[in-house]
Structure 1
Amino acid sequence: MRYWLRYYEKSRLAARARQLTLGDGLNQKTSLGPLCNREHFNSVKEATSRALAEGATLITGGNIATVKECEGGYFYQPTVLDNAGMSQTASQEEIFGPVLSVLPYDSFDEALSLLNETEYGLSSSFFSDSHSLIQRFLDESKHGMLHVNNGTVPDVNMPFGGIKKSGLGAFSVGASASAFYTNEQSAYLAW
């Protein structure tokens, strides 16, 4: 039995994406600001196009967005891609834009395998009420930041960093932040 998002769930996910308010990031009514620059904007656009060409299907979004009073901003519609497993880009790359990829799986083991197969390991999130599955997720997820029953937005009091090809090395928030600015050495003295 494949754990596909049913049509009803996909349409709810698409509706939620369309409800996001694009605008000035300093405006409290904004839920999604612009991408940071033209290069970033173009990379999100190109990655989404590549994912669709590789076989992912568009549920919603996938286009440039124009926002009143923010003309010239690098806005991209909140995008949901289905059948992401058909696309190397959608299932294996970090697009770093408002793009969500939906992947089906048959079991927890397959879901964990899909999660860990990427070259990246910044953050992962797992929603469950099964203590044994939660513990397996915590033990087996190959990511720097693990979230249970919570999205992947980090807490400012916790270390921020990834493993594999994600992050910049030492975690950059919390007590481990000093490691970014230091080189550890060992010294042995004999008299």
Structure 2
Amino acid sequence: MIFSNWFCLMGYWLNYKQSDREPRANDSEVFHHLIEPYFRHANWFSFKSQDKDKGGCCSYQTNLYMDYGQKFGLSPIGYYEKIFNFTGFNKKDDSEYRLVFVKTRWSDKMCSNVISQVGFGQGNFKIVGSKRTTKPFVIPPIGSATRVFVLSGAELKSNLNFLWFLYYVVCPGKPDMCRGMKPVVGTSEMASSGF
């Protein structure tokens, strides 16, 4: 079930109220119909068995909307816009999109922390998985590339930022989402190796 060689969007998590909007009885149905034609555009696939026959939609996505959109006052279209507007980030203050989550697994073969998930937003930084922060962190080969990006634990929060992720991971996988985006300045120091 390889949906993308670049990335899969997990969702948009909120933890505070966005508005005083009251939930409506048909919110889940509206969101389901809204997202179904577009979930592939952002590589927002479900890995739930009940969504397999529909190509990876839509119970997972709808449940996320109910838990993190409707619950916090967002309409179906409001949550949809949060999902699909992440490339509009480069026009905003980057303090809203700091690295707040990294999921890793330890690789004895590479003697490194291999990054499998990242999260950007506001909040406290958290690492799940290997806690060997004195060892390198690597992003596995992306797309058809043969190189991996390597960061020290000290560089992780400053160099693995949303603009870098957008430019080097999202945009090559979904170039239509990044038209006109300029190369990222200041992150080219991130080492790359041909593991």
Normalising by structure 1, what TM-score? 0.29
Larger RCO (CA within 8 A; separation ≥ 6):
2
| Bigger Rg, which one | 1
Normalising by structure 2, what TM-score? 0.28
